[in-house]
Structure 1
Amino acid sequence: MSYEAELQTVLDREPEPPGGVVGSDVEYDADGVVCRGYLAVPAGATGAVPGVLVVHDWLGVTDATRIRCDMLARLGYAAFAADVYGADVRPDGQTAPQVAGGFYGDQALWRSRLSAALGRLAEDPAADPSRLAAIGYCFGGSSALELARDGADLRAVVSFHGALPTGPEGEAARIRAKVLVLTGAADPHVPTESVIAFEDELRTAPEVDWQVVSYSGAMHAFTVPTANTPEYGAQYDERADRRSWTAMKDFFAEVL
């Protein structure tokens, strides 16, 4: 599929393989709610490949999410965009805080929707259920970490400029995945004290393999090409976008 120029430029950083990729919308059920995700897979792949769940930001499944799935498929992964909100919920910038806030305020529902999406990826013939990872952006970054905290059977999770809430005592020990957090050092929505509290919590679970990388000068939403509201602490940063994507690729090459 074709994308707007800003998004297409980001997508084309990953060369398209000779066979290309195949992307399509996929409807699935989450406790009786119809959700509509997006699946991208390498065309002509023989056998199952590692699967990556991609969780959207607070705007829901948009082209910004789809291009990341396409990029992962170009790298040889089966990438599935989760739809946490449900197929009929696609908020705009004005209503997105309220919609996302409903999930921040209902952790059980949040985790249930994420688990349903992960289950849909795991059962797809294109994905190897023994080699799964989850990544996410902003709200989605926090979502990937929620899956990890819930003890999901994942090899890796990656959070791009996501909030870093801590959990109840002992919850960090449930994490089975290796964790990579990629955050902006100038992100007012994820201040230094939040990063420190998150790191301190993970130190209580020494068996968890984790990394936190901060990008100097990068604000919130530093991977979103259309983000340009520095007065609200959100702005695209091409250098941080490239570096964080490379960090994710290196991480996946090691653990998947």
Structure 2
Amino acid sequence: MTEVTTRSVEYPADGLTMVGHLARPAGVGRRPAVLVGPEGTGLNDFQRRRADALAELGYVALAFDIHGGRWFSDPEEMLARCMPLLADPDRMRDIGHAALDVLHAEPRTDPDRIAAIGYGTGGAIGLELGRAGVDLRAIGTINAVTTGRPGEAARIRCPVWAGVGSEDPIMSPAQRDAFAAEMQAAGVDWRLVVYGGALHAFHHPPTDPDGTISADGTYGQALVPGVAYHPQHAQRAWRDVVGLLAECLPVAP
């Protein structure tokens, strides 16, 4: 395990001041880099720890912000912010490009070796970067089998991996089928893993209203329907994401 240094970084996007979390491995040389996108509720310690875990594996990792430093405990507020965003590919791309600019400005980043992973809304942003033709080495999403504007998936130049729960009412079987059809028609190297019995946001441990991980394993916040943590599949999905990065963005010894 390598020593990790972290810092918060502020940057403009979507008319807001975003507050991302940058994690770097020990050393001075350039390293492959990963964008880590949060789900619709926003950036919290869960994604920050994911960035730290990637830095321990040797990556420069930025857990990026989508709400200007806010984390939404109220589902109605979250949906009011996220639904217009998810319906606007250009806004999503702008948020993703702003985060990419932060990674490119980091001297430790190898600008030719960057991947994007994300959860929910953050995963959709990663997919939109691919559809915009950004040179990524891999795109990995959990709970984000979103489709884009017709024909734009042909611009994706890297493997795409997606994970979703079989019982997710938000990313429904019809949505999964549409995503698969889009990727296949575009000639993308794609994979879709369906985790049996899992609901939406199955990867995320229960949280308290302030966004911190619940100490007693129960949800302290209101939830949209169809959300539940699945600890076994959460671990499996993370291993699958790490495997994707190891295949497409290997870290030199």
TM interval, shorter chain, is 0.7 to 0.9
Tell me the TM-score normalised to structure 2 length. 0.87
The residue matched to 2:63 in structure 1 has which SS? strand
- AA paired with 1:189? I
Greater RCO, CA 8 A, separation 6+? 2
C-alpha distance in structure 2 between counterparts of 1:56 and 1:138, whole Å:
7
The residue matched to 2:55 in structure 1 has which SS? helix
Report the equivalent of 2:154: 173
Q: Is it true that 1:38 corresponds to 2:21 in the alignment?
A: yes
Indicate if the aligned counterparts of 1:91 and 1:99 stay in contact, CA closer than 8 A.
Answer: no
Q: Is it true that 1:56 corresponds to 2:30 in the alignment?
A: no
Q: Is it true that 1:127 corresponds to 2:109 in the alignment?
A: yes
Q: Is it true that 1:220 corresponds to 2:220 in the alignment?
A: no
Indicate if the aligned counterparts of 2:136 and 2:158 stay in contact, CA closer than 8 A.
Answer: yes
Q: Is it true that 1:148 corresponds to 2:130 in the alignment?
A: yes
Indicate if the aligned counterparts of 2:33 and 2:59 stay in contact, CA closer than 8 A.
Answer: yes
Once the two structures are TM-superposed, the CA of residue 242 in structure 1 deviates from its matched residue by 1.1
Size of the aligned set, in residue pairs, is 235
- AA paired with 2:125? S
Once the two structures are TM-superposed, the CA of residue 35 in structure 1 deviates from its matched residue by 1.6
C-alpha distance in structure 1 between counterparts of 2:191 and 2:149, whole Å:
21
Report the equivalent of 2:214: none
Report the equivalent of 1:161: 143
One of 160, 165, 179 as aligned partner of 1:198? 179
Tell me the TM-score normalised to structure 1 length. 0.86
- How does 1:25-104 map onto structure 2 within 5 Å? 25-30=8-13, 33-42=16-25, 44-87=26-69, 89-94=70-75, 95-104=77-86
Once the two structures are TM-superposed, the CA of residue 137 in structure 1 deviates from its matched residue by 0.9
1:55-92 deviation line (CA, Å, top 9, x unaligned): 111122211111111111111111101122224x4433
- Note the residue ranges of structure 2 that are not aligned, 5 or more in a row: 208-218
Indicate if the aligned counterparts of 2:201 and 2:228 stay in contact, CA closer than 8 A.
Answer: yes
Taking every aligned residue pair, what percent have the same amino acid on both sides?
Answer: 39
Indicate if the aligned counterparts of 1:84 and 1:110 stay in contact, CA closer than 8 A.
Answer: no
Indicate if the aligned counterparts of 2:34 and 2:61 stay in contact, CA closer than 8 A.
Answer: yes
C-alpha distance in structure 2 between counterparts of 1:106 and 1:168, whole Å:
10
The residue matched to 1:96 in structure 2 has which SS? helix
One of 228, 232, 236 as aligned partner of 2:225? 232
Once the two structures are TM-superposed, the CA of residue 106 in structure 1 deviates from its matched residue by 2.8
C-alpha distance in structure 1 between counterparts of 2:192 and 2:157, whole Å:
17
- AA paired with 2:235? R
Indicate if the aligned counterparts of 1:134 and 1:156 stay in contact, CA closer than 8 A.
Answer: yes
Indicate if the aligned counterparts of 1:185 and 1:215 stay in contact, CA closer than 8 A.
Answer: yes
Indicate if the aligned counterparts of 1:123 and 1:129 stay in contact, CA closer than 8 A.
Answer: no
C-alpha distance in structure 1 between counterparts of 2:157 and 2:66, whole Å:
22
- AA paired with 2:234? D
- AA paired with 2:80? Q
Q: CA RMSD in A?
A: 1.9
Once the two structures are TM-superposed, the CA of residue 202 in structure 1 deviates from its matched residue by 1.3
The residue matched to 2:160 in structure 1 has which SS? strand
Once the two structures are TM-superposed, the CA of residue 93 in structure 1 deviates from its matched residue by 2.5
1:168-217 deviation line (CA, Å, top 9, x unaligned): 331111111210001111111111111111111111122x2111011101
Report the equivalent of 2:215: none
- Could you list the structure 1 runs, at least 4 aligned residues long, displaced by more than 4 angstroms after superposition: 227-231
